[in-house]
């Protein structure tokens, strides 16, 4: 989350959306060697632990919360939305509020919409509100396309290409960029899921803060209860 549950942080959302079949409450835990969101590290290239709780209703409505280590802080996300399926095409629309435990001026809210068909998926997100410290991200636009495939022995592979278009404060020093990610996941049944990810962007060292222009390899583990 940044709507990850970890799975989303690793790009697993690209594998497509499914309709909610019945009311359900679930929880999840995860750890990743690097919390990467839209091609950029959120954990200073360090390990991050996470966990969340989700509620889904048979009508298609859902809500949840997710917490993760992020930089020297904690990110707490609140989200809700509606999803379903029509003629084999899955759809989802929702709202996410990103908050930070020690810096409320970094909080922001985003609306998003996603569709999936067969092995393909696509989505768009738009920042509708941001606090003073991140006013520059207000009106930021993000969209992605993805593909996911099942492999033998409970493996799966996902591919994502996403584009970030900053469109907030005119004085903000922000650049458009494209990110690319490939994820190889292994389901271990009751043990959980392990994902190996490779992520890169078209930013160069002068565009990116810190080492954000570097290609990254990271490993993640998640389990749902």
Residue 132: count other Cβ atoms within 10 Å of its Cβ. Answer: 9
Q: Answer whether residue 2 is part of any domain.
A: no
Range(s) of the domain holding residue 75 = 12-224
CATH assignment of the domain containing 47:
2.40.160.40
**21: pLDDT confidence band, cut at 50, 70 and 90?**
very low
Instruction: State pTM to two decimals.
Output: 0.83
pLDDT at 12 over 90: no
pLDDT at res. 134: 53
pLDDT at 13 over 50: no
Give all strands (DSSP E) within the chain, no chain letters.
Answer: 24-32, 36-37, 40-41, 48-56, 61-70, 73-86, 89-100, 108-117, 120-130, 141-151, 155-165, 177-187, 193-201, 216-224
Residue 160: count other Cβ atoms within 10 Å of its Cβ. Answer: 26
Q: Answer whether residue 5 is part of any domain.
A: no
How far is Cα 5 from Cα 9, in angstroms, rounded to an integer?
A: 7
Q: Answer whether residue 126 is part of any domain.
A: yes
* Residue (of 139, 154, 156) closest to 11 by Cα position: 156
Cβ contact 75:97 at 8 Å? no
**Residue range 59-84, pLDDT digits in tens:** 999 999 999 999 888 999 999 999 99
Q: Answer whether residue 7 is part of any domain.
A: no
pLDDT at res. 101: 85
Cα end-to-end span (Å), the chain: 18
Compute the half-sphere exposure of residue 223: CA atoms within 13 Å on the CB side of its CA.
8
Q: Which of 23-27, 43-47, 113-117 has the highest mean pLDDT?
A: 113-117
Question: Phi and psi dihedrals of 207, rounded to 5?
Answer: -90, -30
DSSP output for 140-179: -EEEEEEEEEEETTTEEEEEEEEEEE--S-TT-----EEE
Q: Answer whether residue 4 is part of any domain.
A: no
Q: Answer whether residue 114 is part of any domain.
A: yes
191 pairs with which residues across the strands? none
For Cα atoms 88, 164, 2, give the angle at the middle one, nearest 5 degrees.
70
Q: How many folded domains does the chain comprise?
A: 1
Q: Which whole number is the average pLDDT over 12-22?
A: 43
Q: Which whole number is the average pLDDT over 118-137?
A: 82
């Amino acid at each position: 989350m940044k709507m990850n549950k970890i799975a989303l942080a690793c790009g697993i959302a690209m594998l497509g959306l499914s309709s909610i079949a019945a009311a359900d409450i679930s929880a999840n835990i995860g750890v990743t060697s690097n919390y990467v969101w839209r091609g950029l590290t959120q954990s200073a290239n360090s390990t991050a632990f996470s966990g969340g709780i989700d509620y889904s209703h048979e009508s298609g409505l859902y809500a949840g919360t997710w917490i993760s280590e992020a930089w020297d802080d904690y990110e707490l996300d609140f989200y809700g939305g509606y999803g379903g399926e029509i003629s084999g095409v899955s759809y989802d629309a929702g709202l996410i509020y990103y908050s930070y435990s020690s810096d409320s001026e970094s909080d922001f809210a985003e609306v998003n919409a996603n569709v999936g068909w067969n092995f393909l998926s696509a989505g768009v997100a738009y920042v509708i509100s941001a606090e003073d410290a991140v006013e520059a991200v207000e009106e930021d636009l993000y969209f992605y396309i993805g593909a996911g495939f099942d492999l033998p022995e409970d493996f799966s592979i996902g591919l994502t290409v996403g584009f970030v278009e900053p469109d907030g404060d005119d004085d903000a020093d922000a650049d458009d960029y494209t990110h690319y990610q490939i994820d190889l996941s292994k389901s271990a049944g009751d043990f959980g899921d392990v994902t190996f990810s490779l992520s890169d962007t078209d930013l160069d060292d002068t565009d990116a803060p810190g080492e954000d222009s570097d290609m990254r390899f990271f490993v993640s583990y998640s389990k749902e209860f």
